[in-house]
Amino acid sequence: MDAVIFDITRNSFVDGPGIRTTVFFKGCNLRCAWCHNPESQNPNPQMMFYKDKCKGCGMCKAKCPNHLESCTLCGICEMYCMADARKICGKTYTVEEVLKEVLKDKSFYEHSGGGVTFSGGECMLQTSFLVEILKACKDAGLHTAVDTAGHVSWDKFEQVLSFTDLFLYDVKSMNSRVHKEYVGVGNELILENLSKLLDEGAKVWIRMPVIGGVNDSEEEILALKEFLGKQKTIPEKIELLPYHAMGEHKYSALDMEKKEFSVPSKEKMEYFNQLLQ
């Protein structure tokens, strides 16, 4: 069994408690207009070309079997590019290969209360593989977290519940119309699954990206607070994450259009956090 992974990041402090290794699955069924990992959207491996790094030496074209007229992702151009302007994004891994990578830092997990986080893209789309790697991690004594946007059928959650210590759950907008406009789908299934997770007693951290001109309003924050107030249990943690434009260079490397958004002020973020107290 294998899955397409586009990155494995070690020594992460932002994807759950402690020091963590984050495994990024390729493929996503949402299209967030502010996505900072656009390479995660397509489920297949892709060639990324960073024009700003290119020195114009022509080595990639000379070595490519098709002279860059078509790409088979053979990796030869990437191998010969001394400027690292060409990079294949996405690689097929087996469960054993992923486990080998995450176990390299087991001692750091144990001393910091960390573990492994499976993210994306949307890791829940490759459910069978996710279940097997979660089982393997639990057998190895690792803390496990699943980072999801929740737009999948509930049966997928049922498959991973027993092997997941923590869910990092993305809530983009409480307004379904806004959600559909900027994410591509309504939020009904996402909120329904969140309610079910909380009913099951799962440990949940909610993460909401705060995007200027989209969901940076008091109305949005109060709607989230009202929704959570109706649940049988509340999430362990709520993180409001201000918009950043760190992924801009990836859009040009994939020849994709990038939309611009504003960053909420520090004062606004502080006010929103106070509303949630």
List, for residues 171-222, the tens digit of each pLDDT value. 999 999 999 999 999 999 999 999 999 999 999 999 999 999 999 999 999 9
- In CATH, what number is assigned to the domain containing residue 19? 3.20.20.70
Where does a domain end: 61, 88, 115? 88
User: Do 157 and 57 sit in the same domain of this protein?
Assistant: no
Where does a domain end: 35, 56, 88? 88
Q: What is the DSSP string of 129-193?
A: HHHHHHHHHHHTT-EEEEEE---S-HHHHHHHGGG-SEEEEE---S-HHHHHHHHSS-SHHHHHH
As for how many domains the chain has, the answer is 2
Give the Cβ contact number of residue 177 at 10 Å: 10
Tell me: pLDDT of 244 over 90.
no
Phi, psi dihedral angles at 133 (to 5 degrees):
-75, -30
Where does a domain end: 31, 60, 88? 88
Is the separation of the CB atoms in 157 and 131 below 8 Å?
Answer: no
pLDDT digits (tens, 9 = 90+) for 71-96: 999 999 999 999 999 999 999 999 99
- In CATH, what number is assigned to the domain containing residue 65? 3.30.70
User: Do 197 and 254 sit in the same domain of this protein?
Assistant: yes
Q: What Cα–Cα distance (Å) separates residue 202 from each residue in 56, 130, 165?
A: 53, 17, 8
73: containing domain: 48-88
Tell me: pLDDT of 245 over 90.
no
User: Do 228 and 128 sit in the same domain of this protein?
Assistant: yes
User: Do 179 and 234 sit in the same domain of this protein?
Assistant: yes
User: Do 118 and 223 sit in the same domain of this protein?
Assistant: yes
Question: Taking the model in full, what pTM does it have?
Answer: 0.94
User: Do 175 and 218 sit in the same domain of this protein?
Assistant: yes
User: Do 28 and 56 sit in the same domain of this protein?
Assistant: no
Q: Is the dihedral of CA 14, 20, 21, 22 positive or negative?
A: negative
How high does pLDDT run on average in the chain? 96
User: Do 52 and 173 sit in the same domain of this protein?
Assistant: no
User: Do 26 and 162 sit in the same domain of this protein?
Assistant: yes
pLDDT digits (tens, 9 = 90+) for 105-164: 999 999 999 999 999 999 999 999 999 999 999 999 999 999 999 999 999 999 999 999
User: Do 6 and 137 sit in the same domain of this protein?
Assistant: yes
User: Do 203 and 249 sit in the same domain of this protein?
Assistant: yes
User: Do 15 and 125 sit in the same domain of this protein?
Assistant: yes
